[in-house]
Copies of this chain bind each other. A is one copy, B any other.
Amino acid sequence: MQTVIIGSGNVAYHLAKAFIQNRIEIHQIFGRNEIELSKISKELAIPYSTENLAEADLYIIAVSDSAVENVSEFIKNDNALVAHTSGSLPKEILKGHYRKASFYPLQTFSKTKKLDYSKIPFFIEADDQIDEKLLFEIASVISDSVEISTYEKRKYIHLTAVFACNFVNHLFARAKEICDSQALDFNYFLPLINETVEKISHIDPKSAQTGPAVRGDERVLKLHEELLKNEEQLQIYKTMNESIKKMYQ
């Protein structure tokens, strides 16, 4: 089976690497960004092109959500199976006469950061069971955690991921901003952050809650609000504490 990956961003890079590491051949990596493509091509020994999309049996479109539809129109092979990697798009966004699918890896990807692909949950959806089985088998070569999923389910998985990953990272960014403003070393907080995460593998996060809001410690809440000089920090502080109070009242 000939496989082409379309895209040169974080997801495309890591998928290509996961395929190659697991000896799944990639026929071509295709995209617009020649600098990134040539880097990936060199590292993983995959042919690339910015102009001539190769003939293939399977195309995996790993580009940003807003580009998926446009990119899908380049594929003219009606016998192909085409899957996108988005958490928030239906497979029907793909515009062509080929078979359509979704191949969604639930992870946060940065090019500079190595990943253990075997632990990434993959969520698969296709037009028929034969294609679902095919994609399921490919994902299973890479990962120990593969599931068939509907678009409805996938949307909620992506939404949950925004809370558990994107917003969590933003809290770290705002926490570091406070540290920097006081010349505090952010490394002080790494054991605390590790423990916060370590805990929820053992304890329901709702039961693990600590801090002034869940204790109803209004003195500390007021003190902290006075310390915060940045409008966004203050807004987060108030919103999160209100939400904590509501959850435990």
Contacts and interface: CB of A to CB of B under 8 A. Distances in A.
The count of identical subunits is 2
Interface residues of A, number: 92
| Residue of A166, A246, A247 contacting most chain B CB atoms (<10 Å) | A166
Contacts of A138: none
B168 A196 contact: yes
A170 B232 contact: no
Given A160-B178, A179-B160, A191-B120, A205 B153 contact: no
Interface stretch (A44-52, A73-81, A126-134, A234-242): A234-242
A182 interface: yes
Interface string A189-201: 1111111111111
A15 to B, nearest CB: 15
Interface stretch (A24-32, A35-43, A53-61, A223-231): A223-231
Interface in A190-220: 190-206, 208-215, 217, 219-220
Contacts of A243: 170, 174, 232, 235-236
A156 interface: yes
B167 A206 contact: no
A165 to B, nearest CB: 5
Interface in A146-194: 153, 155-179, 182, 184, 188-194
Contacts of A70: none
A43 B144 CA distance: 40
Interface of A: 10, 64-66, 88, 106-110, 112-113, 115-116, 119-121, 145, 153, 155-179, 182, 184, 188-206, 208-215, 217, 219-220, 223-224, 227-228, 232-233, 235-237, 239-240, 242-244, 246-247
